Amino acid sequence: MSNKVIAIVVDGMRYDKACEALGYVQHLVELNQAALYKMKSELPSLSRPLYEVLLTGTPSSVNGITSNQAVRLSNEKSIFHLTKENGLRNGAVSYYWVSELYNRAPFNFIEDREQDDLSKAIQYGKFYWDDDYPDSHVFMDAEALRRKYDPHFIYIHPLGVDVKGELFGSESKEYREQILKVGSLLAQLLPIWMSEGYHILITSDHGMSETGNHGGITPGERDVPLFIISPKVEPGVYNEVIPQLAFAPLVCKLLKIEPSNKMISYQLPGYKEIN
């Protein structure tokens, strides 16, 4: 069985709107080809702290990334570090804050935009900084990176849903329309990735309030989806709410590498212990 993982983190995509608008992904759930969970984000429900949560499995009180203004390298061991240590290749196409957390801070807009360096935590990367960099470009940059470097772990991070949510709020036509666009992009790429045997996870860092904010404790701000397409996870819709700290150790399990000693031990409902 493959140990290759694609993790898509759609920034700012709340659970209920994702369930409504990701048509092809929900089609796979209906056909028993995918699993759907509700995942509750850590606090604060802000982007940079939650990138660190998703990629290191540690809360902000431990890792010290407590706000979007914490511009420094992470002190924790991320999935990128762990894949590299285990002789696996990794890559990322994401907003530049991820590069600042794991490769270099502050970000150098010329030298750090494209990264191809096996000595770095993120070995192969393409990073953007304009908030309106199109989601379509993020996904196709990622697919080009995947085909060129064949990473075992690839992290894909489009920002468009978050941007539309902050401008117009979670109940707006614009916010829902952007999730529909992401759904269309996933519909083009998921069949390719599934045919090549990847474990695929689709989630978000945080949700979005009706007034276009996040950072607080409301369900709209904290509840995000976790869709999983993997032979190691039984398809279906699960009622148990998953802690966001469980994401990183789950990715490690799928990659067949040991999680860091700071990651929690968590048994995902529906996970099958098979080789």
Rounded to 10 degrees, the C-alpha dihedral 61/67/69/74 comes to: 40
Is the pTM here over 0.75, yes or no? yes
Q: Is the pLDDT of residue 162 over 90?
A: yes
Q: Is the pLDDT of residue 159 over 70?
A: yes
Phi, psi of 90 (to 5 degrees): -135, 160
Q: Given CA atoms 101, 246, 265, 93 in this order, what sign does their dihedral have?
A: negative
pLDDT, averaged across the chain: 97
Q: Is the pLDDT of residue 134 over 90?
A: yes
Q: Is the pLDDT of residue 232 over 80?
A: yes
Hey, where are the domains in the chain? 5-255
Q: Is the pLDDT of residue 120 over 90?
A: yes
Nearest partner of 154 among 166, 163, 141, 164, judged by Cα: 141
Cα distances from 126 to residues 49, 102, 154, in angstroms, run 21, 13, 11
Q: Is the pLDDT of residue 274 over 80?
A: no
Tell me what the mean pLDDT of segment 259-269 comes to.
97
Tell me what the mean pLDDT of segment 48-70 comes to.
98
DSSP structural state of residue 42: P
Domain range 5-255, CATH architecture: 3-Layer(aba) Sandwich (3.40)
For residue 233, the model assigns a pLDDT of 98
Residues 38, 263: Cα–Cα separation, whole Å: 20
Q: Which class for 89: exposed (0-12), middle (13-18), buried (19 or more C-beta within 10 A)?
A: middle
For residue 204, the model assigns a pLDDT of 98
